[in-house]
Amino acid sequence: MTTLPSLPPPTYADVLAAAQRLEGKAHTTPVVRSTAIDERLGAKLFFKCENLQRTGAFKFRGAYNALAQFTDEQREHGVLTFSAGNHAQAIALSARLLDMPALVVMPEDAAVSKMTATREYGAQVVTYNRHTEDREAISRQIARERGMTLVPPFDHPHVIAGQGTAALELLQEVPDLDYLFISLGGGGLLSGSLLAVQTLAPQCKVIGVEPETANDAQQSLRAGHIVRIAHPQTIADGAQTQALGDYTFPLIRDHAEDIITVSDEQLIEALRFFAQRMKMVVEPTGALAFAGAQAFSGEDEGGKLLHGERVGIIVSGGNVDLSRYARFLAD
């Protein structure tokens, strides 16, 4: 197995370098508005639509940036990762574009659409039971046996830098944001976004949003150290992480304004708004930031916390099984 444990923490310069590598490879996703939600919250919201990114999520940015920096030897042996779906697809497509083998360790109960897409992009998929088996241990063993390079879903400097290009693009198009809400699982997107915000919009308050049943990051921020939780149950399958990483936690601890949580019911409400009013298919994890902004806007007595503010929302993904999605909208 090839690993790179001595890599330094990512910087804003790494985000800029990642943007250059991704030019012509990743989509520059649109930023859209909604008059209805602006009127409801009394604010100006700007939705960065990473659900329209290649592979249907922001994860392509970090995956491609990481794989594009492989040596010739690493490319020959290929890449290995573990993921419930979006990072899996991102690694699979990036590996195909860069002509290298890819293997993905996925939970056996992963969304069918995500597992199918990962295989269709050309990756080999090995499944495991997320309740009884350790995906990281399985991945390390296979990587050792095959000489593959392990690229984790979020806790890797090159992945973090790549994810930061989504916020970079948003801030280049919509400067002077007052708030930026970002979905939070392992913290790769939030960490990378913080790097961009610190340079381009230091006045902007960045708030991470995670499911209330998967609030390991919120607990970690309060405790001042990484808190690990049992496998959480939430419809936001992309945020079912148990702990932040050694790279992501310090960035979040030092630079995030706060981490808030939302319920599955609030996520379903957000999904319905996206579908009915904005005509967009968004997965539950992808709706975390918007649901969080709605919840945050009503936290004070008058419900005016975001009144008059310019608010960025990163819609992080749109990969959801259609049958499952239909149930969310119908409930």
Is residue 62 within 8 A of residue 90, CB to CB? The reply is: yes
b/e sequence 178-190, b meaning 16+ C-beta within 10 Å: bbbbbbbbbbbbb
| Rounded distance between C-alpha atoms, residue 248 and residue 114, angstroms | 25
Active-site residue 59, yes or no? Answer: yes
The C-alpha atoms of residue 175 and residue 185 are separated, in whole angstroms, by: 26
Q: Give me the catalytic one of 48, 59, 83, 220.
A: 59
Angle subtended at Cα 242 by Cα 119 and Cα 270, rounded to the nearest 5 degrees: 75
Alpha-helical regions (H) of 23-134: 35-41, 59-67, 72-77, 86-97, 112-120
Instruction: Retrieve residue 120's tokens.
Output: 């269709």
Count, residues in the chain: 331
Find the helix or strand (DSSP H, E) in which 311 lies: strand 310-315
Residues contacting residue 40 through CB under 8 Å, at least 6 positions apart: none
For residue 304, indicate whether it is catalytic: no
Cβ pair 306, 293 in contact under 8 A:
yes
Residue with the two structure tokens 């995956």? 63
Residues catalogued as catalytic: 59, 316
